[in-house]
A and B are shown apart, each in its own frame.
Chain A
Amino acid sequence: MMVILLVAIVAAISVFEIMRMAKNRQIKEIIVFIVIAVFALAMGIYYITAPHDRSLIYYAFKFLGLDL
């Protein structure tokens, strides 16, 4: 249910903004927008499907060899 809601929100923002950018022929802006949208969707789906997984801080500390 939450994944559907997320996809709907991202799709709604995308349709609204991309139409506006296409009207102004902002091609580079559209590409950057799509990249951010894909990242937002990927992170959103990951968060929704695995909400109790470890945090990014945990992985950052592990990567740097620090104790959390």
Chain B
Amino acid sequence: MLSDDKKISMRQAAFLFMTVTFTPAIRLIPGYATQKARQAAWLSPIFTAVLMVLLVQVWQVLYRKYKDKSLMDIYRDIAGPAAGTVILVFYLLWYMVLAALYIRYFAMRLLGAIYPNTDISIFIISMLVVVAYTLGFGMVTFARFNEVVLPFMMFVFFLLFIMMIPNFRTDFLTPVTARSILPAFEASMAPTGLVAYFSFIFIFGDRINNKESISKIGLKLVVFQLVTQVMIIVSIICTFSFRIAQRTQLPYLTAVKQISVFNIFEKVESIVISIWVLSDFVIICFFIICALSVLKSFFKLSDIKPLINIYVVFIYFLAMLLAKNAFELERLSEEITLPVNIALGFVIPVLMLFIGKIRKKV
């Protein structure tokens, strides 16, 4: 329900979260989870779902008190202006890194999958021009665009899953015993690091309506995340076994390449590439909005639109300087990105709730 044309609904915010976590889940979770939990990797999203239920409840409790506030306002009120600002500087720096990271992933995936030996700048500049143009229309237009993109992505994803089923060997999912629980919990670091983005949608919490439904919509998101993440892992393990998933750079793409419906419908990987590009576009826009919203809050700016173009130039060079190759990006994702996401998306909101309770602010 929209009561203000400059605000988005909680449902639209949830849709943004779903798109923002979708491609990273396909890229990151299968490889990471199969390395940690082998054939039991498909159990890892269950632990994440439990943690996400808690996270949803944390935000619902916080927003019962801070109805029309953003994450920045809440942190500054609970932790105090100085401590709140220090925490938010980390958020700002992290959003810059994430935007640059996803820009590089977008370009490297295109290079690796279909356009080898092409200058990476061509993809990055093309994407950033479209991003800058779209963000000029504002948050509401972007959220509505995502409402069109997400159902399309989901339709393609479920269709591809059904078409993969003839290649499945369900015996690859077993044996799973009580000794698989600990490795599966360890493997849940990857899905948990991604669902931590749920906290990031409240960066523009002041521009989200009907936040009283965080709990209701959040629990639907938990089910969605659980189902899609299990489907992603199952589709890869059942097609190749966990051993191949551990060693392949883009296992989902390789699994999709195996699809053949009556030897007529083949080479469907181009559909996957197209949904990846759409999802990457939404992710890059999302993290640029997050960074500019934090800047807006820091300096009490009236508008972020004049900053979009120059910020995009800045992010281009940050993306170019960030990494030299795909190996470095993967190491960054596994060693640094996941723990920092969990710290900023899970640990700090929970800490804020506790501090707020102690200081009787929540």
Set B300, B314, B321, B328: member contacting A68, Cβ < 8 A: B328
Instruction: Name the interface residues of B122-167: CB closer than 8 Å to any CB of A.
Output: none
**Given A57-B328, A61-B331, A36–B301 Cβ distance below 8 Å?**
no
Bound-state Cα–Cα, A57 to B317, Å: 14
| A47 contacts across to B, CB distance below 8 A | 317, 320-321
Cβ contacts A to B, 11 pairs, < 8 Å = A14-B310, A28-B299, A31-B299, A32-B301, A43-B314, A47-B321, A55-B324, A56-B318, A58-B328, A61-B331, A66-B335
Interchain CA distance A9-B331 in the complex, whole Å: 33
Q: Give the residues from 1 to 58 in chain A that come closer than 8 angstroms, CB to CB, to chain B.
A: 9-10, 13-14, 17, 20-21, 26, 28-29, 31-33, 36-37, 39-40, 43-44, 46-47, 54-58
Give A3 Cβ to nearest chain B Cβ, in Å. 12
Residue ranges of B at the interface with A (Cβ–Cβ < 8 Å) = 295, 299-303, 306-307, 309-311, 313-314, 317-318, 320-324, 328-329, 331-332, 335-336
Does B303 lie within 8 Å of A29, measured CB to CB? yes
Nearest residue, chain A, Cβ from B295: A32
CB distance from A24 to the nearest CB of B (A): 8
Q: Are B309 and A13 in contact (CB under 8 A)?
A: yes
Are the CB atoms of B331 and A36 closer together than 8 Å? no
A29 contacts B301, CB within 8 Å?
A: yes
Report the minimum CB–CB distance from B77 to chain A (whole Å): 22
**Interface residues of A, count at CB 8 A:** 31
Q: Are A33 and B336 in contact (CB under 8 A)?
A: no
Contacts of B306 in A (CB 8 A): 17, 20-21, 26, 29, 33
Contacts of A55 in B (CB 8 A): 321-324, 328
Q: Is the interface of A mostly helix, strand, loop or mixed?
A: helix
Chain A nearest Cβ from B352, distance in angstroms: 25
Q: Which chain B residues lie closer than 8 Å to A40 at the CB level? A: 310, 313-314, 317
Interface residues of A (CB under 8 A from B): 9-10, 13-14, 17, 20-21, 26, 28-29, 31-33, 36-37, 39-40, 43-44, 46-47, 54-58, 60-61, 64, 66, 68
The smallest beta-carbon distance between B113 and chain A, in angstroms, is 22
* Interfacial chain B residues near A28, Cβ < 8 Å: 299-301
In the docked arrangement, what's the CA distance between A57 and B299, Å? 29
Bound-state CA distance A26–B320 (Å) is 31
Closest chain B residue, CB of each to CB of A31: B299
10 further contact pairs, Cβ within 8 A, besides A13-B310, A28-B300? A14-B310, A26-B301, A29-B301, A29-B302, A29-B307, A36-B314, A37-B313, A57-B332, A61-B331, A66-B335
A61 to B333, CA, bound (A): 12
Distance (whole angstroms) from the CB of A26 to the closest CB of chain B: 6
| Cα–Cα, bound, A18→B316 (Å) | 21
Which residues of A have CB within 8 Å of B324?
54-55, 57-58
Whether B310 and A10, one on each chain, are in contact in the complex, defined by CB atoms closer than 8 angstroms, is yes
User: Shortest beta-carbon distance, A66 to chain B, in Å?
Assistant: 6
Nearest chain B CB to A46 CB, angstrom units? 7
The distance from the CB of B206 to the nearest CB of chain A, in whole angstroms, is: 18
Bound: A4/B69 CA distance, A: 44
Interface pair A56/B307, CB less than 8 Å apart = no
* Identity of the chain A residue whose Cβ is nearest the Cβ of B315 in the assembled complex: A40
Quick check: A46 and B307 within 8 Å, CB to CB?
Answer: no
- Interface contact B323-A13, CB-CB below 8 Å: no
Q: How many Å lie between the Cα of A40 and that of B312 in the bound state?
A: 9
Q: Roughly how many angstroms separate A51 CA and B268 CA in the complex, as a whole number?
A: 36
Give the CA-CA distance A39 to B317 in the complex, in Å: 10
Nearest-CB residue, chain A, relative to B335? A66
Of the candidates B307, B318, B322, B323, which one forms a contact with A33 in the assembled complex, judged by CB atoms under 8 Å apart?
B307
User: Which residue of chain A lies nearest to B328 when distances are taken between CB atoms in the complex?
Assistant: A57
**Hey, which chain A residues are within 8 Å of B307, CB to CB?**
17, 29, 32-33, 36
Given A55-B322, A57-B331, A57-B332, A9:B313 Cβ within 8 A: yes
